[in-house]
Every structure is written in C-alpha cells, then in structure tokens.
A and B are shown apart, each in its own frame.
Chain A
Amino acid sequence: MECQEVQRLLPVRQELSHEKNSALQAHLVTCATCTAEWNRIERTQRELLRLPYSNSQPPEKTISAVQARLAGRRFTFPKILNEAATGVFLVAVVGLLLLSLSSLRAPVNPAAPGAVVTPDAKPIMGVKGKVTSVSNGTIKVETGEGIKVVQTNDQTVFNWVGLPPPLGDGLKQNGQAAQVSDIVAGLSLGAVGTLTKDNVLVAQQVSIALEEIQGEATGTGANTITLKTPKGDQVIQVNAQTIYLQGKQQLQAVVIKPGDQIIATGKPATAGNFVAQVVILKQPGVEGVITAVNGNTITVQDQDRTVTVVVENSAQVKDFQVGRYLAAEGTVDGSGVLHATSLFVTSGEAAKSSDEADKAVIANEPKSKGRVVAISNGTITLDFGIGQRIIQINAQTEFRHMDGQPAQASDLVVGAIVGADGTPAGDGSLIAAHVYIADPASSPRSPDQAAPGNNKKQP
C-alpha cells in the first residue's frame, strides 16, 4: 500500500474490510510517517469528542410549529397565487383560513414561514485572573485588561482545577466540584460565560485554581511537612485524604525525609494552613554514561556520582552498552540502587520500532529526550535509541534548558541531549514548538563534565 492511499483510509478505518485493515496495519508497523498521521487522527478524534452529547428533547413549541407547518396550515403567498392560477382556488381559500387558525395555534415562531431563522447566540467569553473581591455571587477579577466583573448564578458550575497529572488528566474535564463560597480574594480563577451589555460576564463555568507549593522538605511533624520554598519556609498540612505520588506511581506508605523535593497541591488556605490534596515526591533519577553492564544491572556515571540502575524489563537490556548515554527515573531502594521505571538510552542502532520513537516525541513529555546527531539549516536530527526523528525548527520555536531557563538556538550542538514537543508534519518530522536542551556542557551545574556525545562529536 502506498502512503497516500493509507492516509486516505485512516479516517475511515472502521469502514474497511478485514483484509484492507490488515494491510493497513502491516503498513503502519513499518511506516513512521503514516503512524504519526494515525496518531494525529486519533488525537483529533479525541478532541472532537469534547463536544458533549445531548440527551434533550426538542422543545414543544418547536415541534408544534413544525407540525403545524407540515400539516399545511401555513402557505406562503406566492404558492397560494400559484395554486389559485392552476384552478385550485378552493384549496387556497381553505389554506388562508387555516393560516389564520395556525397563527392562533402556533404563534410561537415569530419568523415568517420559510424564512431562515438565524439564531444570534451570544459569544462565549472568558476571563482569568486574580480575585480582588467577592460579594453575593459577584466576583471582581483583576486581569491584564483591568478589573472585570463576573456574575455567578444558580446555573454556574464551579470546579477546582490544577491537580497535577496523572490525577489532573481526568479532572481537567470534570473538575472537582467547588462552590461559590470557596472563592475568596487572592485566588486565581478562570470563568467562561456570556457578556451583558454592561460588560458583566455571566458565568456558566468557574474554574478555581488549586495552589501549588514547591520546595525541599526540611522537617516533618505529626500531620505537617515544612518546606523550604523561594518565599521562605512554609508549613503544609497533610491528612488521611492526601494522595502521594512519585512519578505516575501512587505511593501507599510514605516517609518524607529531609532533602526530599516536594510539590504539594491543595485548596488555598484562606485562613490558617494549606492542606495538601496531593504531594508529589520528585522522582529520583540519573543521567549519565553507562560504565558497566552486568545482566540487568547497569552502572551509570552521573556528573558527580556513580549510580547502580536495575532494569526490570530484561527485554530491553541488550540496548544498554558501555559508553552509551542513559537517563533513568525510578525508585531508590535502601541500598541506593535505582529501580528504573522509565528510561531511555541513546544509540545508533537501527530503528526497531519507529512508532515508539514517534510516541516518544509526540507525547509531549520533556522526558522523551534524544541525542542530537545532526544539525542543518532549520532541522535537527534526534536519535532516540530506538530510531531517529527529524525536528523542524522555525521562528516560533522556543528554546529552553531542561530547568526552564531560556536557551538559544546556538546552544544546540551535536551530542546535546534534547527533548522537543510540537506538531507532527506530514512527512513524519516534528515541527517543534519547544526544544528543551539538557546538554550538560551548557548547563551551569557542571561545566567540566560534558556528556560523552559532546566529547566525541565536539572537538
């Protein structure tokens, strides 16, 4: 099958015969371009599902108006004249009578029969900003364009937003129910609804932001954790409902130790303490060169330490060879061994599964990093260990270091470890919206410990 034909068939896969679907599947396994296209269609179909289904019934007045019309109780005048001209005058007279009747029976539709009614739906507007005051359901919100007034009513839906993924993924759509009394000055919120003539936003939905506190644990109490944050020490409260996460894993028994990096999310403390709904322990990880491989135990030389990494999935082990660059995240056991839950390794090995390479970039995870193996005008080639991908750079592409600091296109060098997100192009490449550079050579942390790729490729 040709790519062009495949791409035409992808949107209508469910219509195809079993044979054709098998042929399509066979093509997808070998073709990164079409796999990227398939991923894009699937994603688009998910986005299209954001239009909610309706279970409502047409309003009575519409039904009776249409039925009246279809029962012949309304005629347009040209038609009456037309029928009169053909000699059916009586029908016309009856029609006129019925017309007058129908205007009594079905007065609900003011539009002239046959006229196309164009509903003038009010545009949905949005406001987001910080609450400055609340009173009787009227919220004043400070936005970049001044103070806006948001009016809530019985129909307004309130929810909390901002839980971190993976919890937040599900909640993004449903939110966590909130109420108007949760809104106090100082909170960040977003509201959507319609504008009145006086520029008041009548809110259909108000999303209140959960607060996020990030810092390093310095101490713990019975139900508290003290965090050192850029704003000073902050004490957060935890309770039986608090969820603990490490990476995407939910933790059952948690002991917070001083030095742990923590991100806590919860309802903002209006008075007193912040109660964490979710506490994320940043996952331990390592990035460095493989110095030894022994079965599924790999020794990795980080910038300032040597870490033993255990790979649970032994099928991947053959990819790990001394000298390659490895990044791993996971959990650390009592003896300091990192049990990897996610990892990648660079290599020049032939693509084993190109769609995995695709997913790696498209998933929009800065974790999916590859090594730059070539740079040319407007494109970079990244090697993901399981395949290579061309990343297109344009004037809109933003460059950042992995720590979020702005970077320059000139920071991109062959050998740099880079993550990217953006839009897949038709040819299987990715048009980058963001490029994250993790090149240790340009990192302020350790200028003398360059990545192996750099040492090899950069004179």
Chain B
Amino acid sequence: MAIDALTGLSARDQRERVAGWFADYATPVYRYLVRLVGDEEGAADLLQDTFIQALKALGRGSDPVNPSAWLYRIATNLAYNTLRRRRRFRWLPFLGDEPGPGFEGDVALAQSVRQCLAQLKPHEAEALLLHEYAGLTSGEIAAQTNTNPSTVRGRLSRAYAHFAELYQKENR
C-alpha cells in the first residue's frame, strides 16, 4: 500500500484518521455551519465537503496538530465562500412616506449579519468567524493560518471595525 512520504500514513490510515475525526467532530462542525449559513441542507453539504477536503489535505501531506481547529478552519472557508456567492437580500420599499415600524425579525437580522460577514476580506472573515463562532483563541487561529497571534489580533480588530461599518450601513 502506498505510504505518504510526508505523513507516513497510508491512504487507509488517512481515511481512518478522518473517520475518527468525523465521529468526534461531525456534530459540532455541523452546528457551526448551520449557524453560519443559516440552512440545514446547505450546512449538511458543507459538512461533507469539509471532511472530503480534510481527507484530500491529508493526502497532500497536511498533518494537523490540532484537528478540531483545523477542521473548523476548512469549514469556515467553505461557509464564507457560500455566503459570498449568495445573492443579496433586499427589502422591497415600504409603501409611500409612512415611517413604518421596525420589522427587523430574527430571520432578517441574521441574514443581514451574514451579508456583512460575506463582505469582509477573506483573512478578516476567517479570523472573526473562528474567534467569534468557533471559539478559537488568536494563538490557535495563528497556528492554523501560518501567522503570528499579533497579526491575527490586527485582523480581528479590523474585522470588527469593518463589520460594524457594514452593519450600520445595512441597518440604518
């Protein structure tokens, strides 16, 4: 059986490893994805993609020290790309010049948060999503993204500022 030169794992070992991660992390990663993309069907597809990509990455020589953070990072980027591809939500204008009460229901507000997240720069979005929703520390994010914690903190700081600006514009 072919042995991967970098990880020393056979293809079968790789599959078994990912299968083990799937048993451990499928549910939390799935819930994370549902939260980010907002629909269960889409999240289920992304869950599948996450583990397929993980398997492929192992095949290319990746050897994650922190598999949970590593899987969250793959899931994050898939979710971010999905959000970016979505067409924009829009309100149809309210009748006439009536001020109209606030109709900011849960669905609309969550949707507007997702739209703003999708407009962040990739590095900012990645840091923000991993920090806010996956609960990773700046050190953990740095380890996953081959950078240092200080850079991640800078990205986070810019991401918050950028998000606040977008959200304000969106919900004025």
Contacts and interface: CB of A to CB of B under 8 A. Distances in A.
Contacts of B27: 57-58
A423 B110 CA distance: 21
A350 B43 CA distance: 55
Nearest to A210: B101
Contacts of B160: 11, 40-41, 44-45
B62 interface: no
Contact of B154 (A8, A123, A209): A8
Contacts of B150: 8
A207 interface: yes
Interface in A9-42: 9-12, 15, 40-41
Interface residues of A, number: 82
Nearest to B169: A423
Contact of A204 (B49, B98, B107): B107
Given A144-B92, A423-B164, A72 B44 contact: no
A161 interface: yes
B68 interface: no
A119 B103 contact: no
Interface in B16-57: 16, 18-19, 22, 26-27, 30-31, 34-49, 51-53, 55-56
A367 to B, nearest CB: 20
Contact of A130 (B30, B95, B163): B95
B109 interface: yes
Nearest to B85: A118
Given A58-B44, A62-B47, A117-B45, A50 B101 contact: no
B104 A128 contact: no
Interface in A29-85: 40-41, 43-45, 47-48, 50-59, 61-63, 65-67, 69-72, 79, 82-83
A61 B46 CA distance: 13
B92 A11 contact: no
B44 A59 contact: yes
B102 A172 contact: yes
A270 B34 CA distance: 40
A9 B153 contact: yes
Contacts of A65: 48
A62 B44 contact: yes
B70 interface: no
7 contacts: A55-B31, A117-B46, A119-B39, A126-B108, A173-B106, A189-B103, A207-B103
Given A71-B15, A209-B100, 13 more contacts: A10-B157, A12-B138, A48-B163, A62-B47, A69-B52, A69-B55, A83-B2, A116-B52, A118-B45, A129-B94, A129-B95, A172-B102, A190-B103
